[in-house]
Amino acid sequence: MTTRARDRLRRLPPVHEVLDALDDLCARIGREAVRARVRAMLIGIREEVLAGADVPDAAQVASRVRDGERADAGSLAPVINATGIVLHTGLGRAPLAQEAADAIARAAANPVPVEIDIASGQRGRRTDHVRPLLCELTGAEDATVVNNAAGALVLALATIATGGRVLVSRGELVEIGGSFRLPEIIEHSGSHLREVGTTNRTRLDDYARAISEDCLAILRVHPSNYHIEGFTQGVGVGALARLAHEHTLPMVFDIGSGLLRRDETGVLACEPDARGALAAGADLVVFSGDKLLGGPQAGVIVGRGDLVRAIERHPLMRALRVDKLTLAGLIATLRQHRDPAIARERIPVLRMVHTPVSALRTRAETMCDRLRRARIEAEVIETTAFVGGGTNPAQALESVGIAIRTPDPEALARALRTGSPGVFARVQRGTIVCDLRSVDASQDGSLCEVLLKRATESPPGTLH
């Protein structure tokens, strides 16, 4: 290091001087937390100074620490999902119904009898609160719930198939969302995968021939986030369950998205449902709480009483247990599912999926008019939206979007993301597309405000 560089570094303000300028922040988040932030900030600034930047004074460093703290606190601020992917894992999947959000807020701020049986005052099980609802809604004998569906599947297999083999069709060995790899999940449950059939064809006979002494379960996984086009052949759930039962094996069905019963509107016709899967003979059905169920992140297991009870006794159950917030949100969501029409009206995910295209078009036209009056080059276009969240991509949804023409769509996309609220849109053929399928109608006003602000902020002449 040159003498000059050393001199410049020496002029950096000491930690205590910066801290003195941050008394208000210390009062809010504690002196030690602020000290750690100041230290980290000074390390970064040292590098900048060595690279030739000006040496900041204590007030300037303090101001940067304050900005950093504000950015961290706001990193989970609500945003608008205009991607057209209703269940966007990157955006936290299902937004909850107001009733569920309220139930979570109440449970969060108060003691609630999570593990106490109110009548007897004795210790109860936390899953007792959701069991009756899950059984009522799916027709299951018994039910339980853990943190997420990946955990639910590991737990189910760890309980029924440890040390043995699990048969799975090659066509179902999916990777979901880049981190859910079925073969790895199966290995971590302590059981071993036995692949059956080929990627595009698996016949009942393939399963029958693969059953051996050490086989402990047959697993069916809804191939949620990919779709094999063309000549494919699979085995029905009923036939697979019958084969399993002939060999006294349990059949587990991971349906993924948490549709509770057949969608009578036909919009989600490709999605398997929990009630149907159990009626067809599946012994255990596993699904997520925050996909088409429209609730908080959770993994639900419904099915045969003896198997569910064994699952609840497994030590992993404790490691994967749900908290009171999840329980409160899940119960409120399930209560709305008792009436399918109410569920479609009150649960945002279902409301979005079932909104008629004509309603989306009317909303888009209203917004587009406003944008055009501000001389933004916007037009209403037809789009294809998706349910998303690892659910069937063949499940495309007809939709409507607003396309904004701009010479630098990536720059506008970035500006929208950092708006207030942030807007997540698609960049498509040189335009920004805000797909309204994933936007709740109540957010149209804010979406329009951000578009007006950000699109007119672009340097003059860039919009044409």
Binding site for ligand PLP (CB under 6 A): 148-150, 176, 180, 221-222, 224, 254, 256-257, 288, 299, 390
Query: Least distance from C-beta 172 to ligand PLP, angstroms?
Result: 9
Cβ-proximal residue to ligand PLP, closest one: 256
* Min separation Cβ 258 and ligand PLP, Å: 9
User: By C-beta, is 322 or 403 nearer to ligand PLP?
Assistant: 322
Q: Which is nearer to ligand PLP, 259 or 378 (CB)?
A: 259
Q: Of 42 and 387, which has the nearer Cβ to ligand PLP?
A: 387
Closest to ligand PLP by CB, 127 vs 288, is 288
- The owner of tokens 């029409």 is 341
- Least distance from C-beta 5 to ligand PLP, angstroms? 50
Please state the closest distance from residue 395 (CB atom) to ligand PLP, in A.
12
Q: With respect to ligand PLP, which residue has the nearer C-beta, 241 or 255?
A: 255
Tokens of residue 51, six digits? 């690279």
Q: What is the 3-state secondary structure (H, E, C) of 303-323?
A: ECHHHHHHHHHCCHHHHCCCC
C-beta closer to ligand PLP: residue 256 or 329: 256
Q: What is the 3-state secondary structure (H, E, C) of the chain?
A: CCHHHHHHHHCCCCHHHHHHCCHHHHHHHCHHHHHHHHHHHHHHHHHHHHCCCCCCCHHHHHHHHHHHHHHHHCCCCCEEECCCEEECHHHCCCCCCHHHHHHHHHHHHCCCCCCECCCCCCECCHHHHCHHHHHHHHCCCEEEEECCHHHHHHHHHHHHHCCCEEEEEHHHCCEECCCEEHHHHHHHCCCEEEEECCCCECCHHHHHHHCCCCEEEEEEECCCCCCCCCCCECCCHHHHHHHHHHCCCCEEEEEECCCCCCCCCCCCCCCCCHHHHHHCCCCEEEEECCCCCCCCCCEEEEECHHHHHHHHHCCHHHHCCCCHHHHHHHHHHHHHHCCHHHHHHHCHHHHHHHCCHHHHHHHHHHHHHHHHHCCCCEEEEEEEEEEECCCCCCCEEEEEEEEEECCCHHHHHHHHHCCCCEEECEEECCEEEEEHHHCCHHHHHHHHHHHHHHHHHCCCCCCC
Q: Whole-number minimum distance, CB 245 to ligand PLP, in Å?
A: 23
Residue with Cβ nearer ligand PLP (150 or 352): 150
CB of 288 to ligand PLP, least distance (A): 3
Q: Specify the residue, 180 or 424, whose C-beta has the smaller distance to ligand PLP.
A: 180
Name the residue nearer to ligand PLP (CB basis): 172 or 434. Answer: 172
